[in-house]
Homo-oligomer: A and B are copies of this chain.
Amino acid sequence: MMKAAFSLLMLLVALSSAFGKFVPKSGKRIPQTLSRGWGDQLIWAQTYEEALFWSRSKNRPLIVIFHLEDCPHSKALKKVFSEDDAILKKLDEEFVVLNLMYETTDKHLSPDGQYVPRIIFVDPSMTVRADIVGRYSNRLYAYEPSDIKLLLDNMKKALKLLKSEL
């Protein structure tokens, strides 16, 4: 019995050393996630092209979050966002989600400039919903952590617009 257990242990050691041996010079890294901390349980699109494809084929509005990992405003919003069950549940069940740290070549995604954090809604017909805005007149698509309720309202607006157009 002990011998069998020892053999199994040795097998596991052998397996673990046979796979994924490569370790960078700077030390082992934590694998990057597609969520980047904006909600590990959501299914994130990787690119804008992929997100548009999903949006169209599932007939769901798309939410695009532009952010930067070392921007304090992005981080503060991300914390509130990723802990808000109502937001996460609605996104998971009725939206296509994409978070980006680099701008795309599509100018429609920056109606009033390229800044972070910035949240843009796109409907399944691939039209950017420039009318769904936050509360800041100088940066229409910016949200502060205290605007999370407004963000949820805007998500509902994106869904409502969608339904009324069907």
- Output the nearest chain B residue to A79 by Cβ-Cβ distance: B19
Given contacts A31-B33, A34-B33, contact A20 B46 (CB under 8 A): no
Write the nearest CB–CB distance from A90 to chain B, whole angstroms: 10
Given contacts A33-B33, A89-B22, contact A41 B53 (CB under 8 A): no
Write the nearest CB–CB distance from A152 to chain B, whole angstroms: 14
Contact in complex: B46, A102 (CB < 8 Å): yes
Let me know if A21 is at the binding interface, CB within 8 A: yes
Contact in complex: A105, B49 (CB < 8 Å): yes
Interface string of A140-156 (1 = CB under 8 A from B): 00000000000000000
Contact of A88 among B22, B89, B100 (CB under 8 A): B22
Contact of A104 among B20, B23, B47, B89 (CB under 8 A): B47
Let me know if A28 is at the binding interface, CB within 8 A: yes
Please name 29 pairs of A and B residues whose Cβ atoms are closer than 8 Å in the assembled complex, sorted by A: A19-B83, A20-B40, A20-B41, A20-B83, A21-B85, A22-B39, A22-B41, A22-B89, A22-B92, A23-B41, A24-B41, A24-B92, A29-B41, A29-B43, A31-B41, A32-B35, A33-B34, A34-B34, A34-B46, A46-B47, A46-B100, A46-B101, A47-B47, A47-B48, A47-B104, A49-B103, A49-B104, A50-B101, A50-B102
Given contacts A33-B32, A83-B20, contact A47 B102 (CB under 8 A): yes
Q: How far is the CA of A85 from the CA of B22 in the complex (A)?
A: 5
Q: How far is the CA of A83 from the CA of B15 in the complex (A)?
A: 12
Q: How far is the CA of A31 from the CA of B82 in the complex (A)?
A: 13
Shortest Cβ-Cβ A-B pairs, 9 listed: A50-B102, A22-B88, A31-B40, A32-B34, A31-B33, A22-B85, A47-B47, A49-B102, A24-B92
